[in-house]
Structure 1
């Protein structure tokens, strides 16, 4: 395992599993911080069977953060190139994060009935 004290343990497992370059850790950490509150809210409203798919909020949080990394980077790049105000850039980024959370929660709900999807979602955390 990589020795990086700045990542939460579950987030570090994801980074190690997907062999994420250490120069992407700051972006991953920023996304992780940005999605925590809205994700926690949505997680608390999931059925218990969906909450248990990944075993903990922390694992879901790490998975969502990683899955949003590419989309967030692309959104930042595109909004930097466009003639947009900071408010418009923030709005686009918020929208991407919200859609990513929604999609991931949809996958978690589906994984309750799909053992293959459940296994894929849990693979980074397998011992």
Structure 2
């Protein structure tokens, strides 16, 4: 009972939105920050979901505009001395970073890096 994930990042692409593709045994999902395309491999059906919240693709739009929101939430939390305004605690933020660091270790070493919850 587990899952294997492959992560690839490249800087050598035309300037456009980030794209994410997730593959499973029965289908895939592909998103670009505005739309998500879901494909069922079993019957070939496709569904397109459109968020209509897409922002620009320049560096100033950082993570689809998310960087601005993170910065504003951080400033608000500090100004009000209220960590609860961040929407995540330190343990949750650390857990997210541990996943990314494990992905980078896997990329550098060419091996699977298990996440053991440590």
TM-score computed with the length of structure 2 as normaliser: 0.29
TM-score computed with the length of structure 1 as normaliser: 0.28
Higher helix share: 1
Higher strand share: 2
